[in-house]
């Protein structure tokens, strides 16, 4: 399936907000969502944004039955470890259920990893709910390591962020999936 990953624009905030709620419903935490699309506009598109976001978009011929072409997003921000240095933290990676297994999640994650490398980050951090086996399996397949016992978090091993061959493979896989 063809799709493109691009930087989110202020105009995408309603779509991002919709998908944030879809993710929260899946995680049984819809009552925890307090941010509105207006908050997303303010916090992500000001002169000093608190986050960055990528969206995955499919062509009109693949739009959902409800007419959506924006079918996934990755929301991330930068953090700093006094021991390890720069990191990128991926807060959310979400792909609508009908579009999973088509390389969109891999494409979004590859782009976040690429941005991290460009910003000289040493690792990509993320959190996964322990009951969310499909997501755990997805991240493990991408090289994530369970550092819960060691560090209390999931994180891509630092070598994956610094190893150009691994990053190239992740990006190549994403491009190949888009061509099929």
Contacts of 156 (CB under 8 A, 6+ apart): 113, 123, 124, 125, 126, 142, 143, 144, 145
Contacts of 141 (CB under 8 A, 6+ apart): none
Choose among 104, 115, 81: nearest CA to 19: 104
Report how far residue 105's alpha carbon sits from residue 55's, in angstroms, rounded to the nearest whole number: 10
* Helix 164-179 vs helix 104-118: crossing angle, to nearest 10: 150
Active site residue 139: yes
Kindly name the residue from 73, 76, 94, 139 that is annotated as catalytic: 139
3-state SS assignment for residue 159 = helix
On whether the CB atoms of residues 120 and 113 are closer than 8 A, the answer is no
Contacts of 127 (CB under 8 A, 6+ apart): 153, 154
Residues taking part in catalysis: 139
């Amino acid at each position: 399936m063809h799709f493109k990953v691009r930087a989110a624009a202020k105009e995408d905030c309603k779509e991002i907000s919709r998908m944030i709620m879809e993710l929260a419903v899946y995680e049984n935490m819809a009552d925890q969502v307090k941010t509105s699309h207006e908050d997303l506009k303010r916090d992500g598109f000001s002169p000093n944004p608190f986050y960055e976001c990528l969206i995955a978009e499919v062509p009109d011929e693949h739009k959902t039955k409800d007419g959506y072409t924006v079918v996934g997003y990755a929301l991330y921000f930068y953090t700093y470890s006094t021991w390890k240095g720069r990191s990128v933290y991926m807060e959310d990676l979400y792909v609508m259920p009908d579009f999973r297994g088509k390389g969109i999640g891999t494409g979004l994650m590859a782009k976040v990893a690429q941005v991290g490398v460009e910003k000289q980050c040493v690792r990509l951090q993320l959190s996964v709910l322990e009951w969310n086996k499909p997501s755990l399996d997805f991240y493990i397949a991408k090289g994530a390591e369970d550092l819960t016992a060691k560090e209390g978090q999931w994180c891509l091993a630092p070598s994956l962020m610094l190893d150009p061959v691994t990053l190239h493979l992740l990006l190549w896989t994403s491009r190949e999936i888009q061509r099929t």
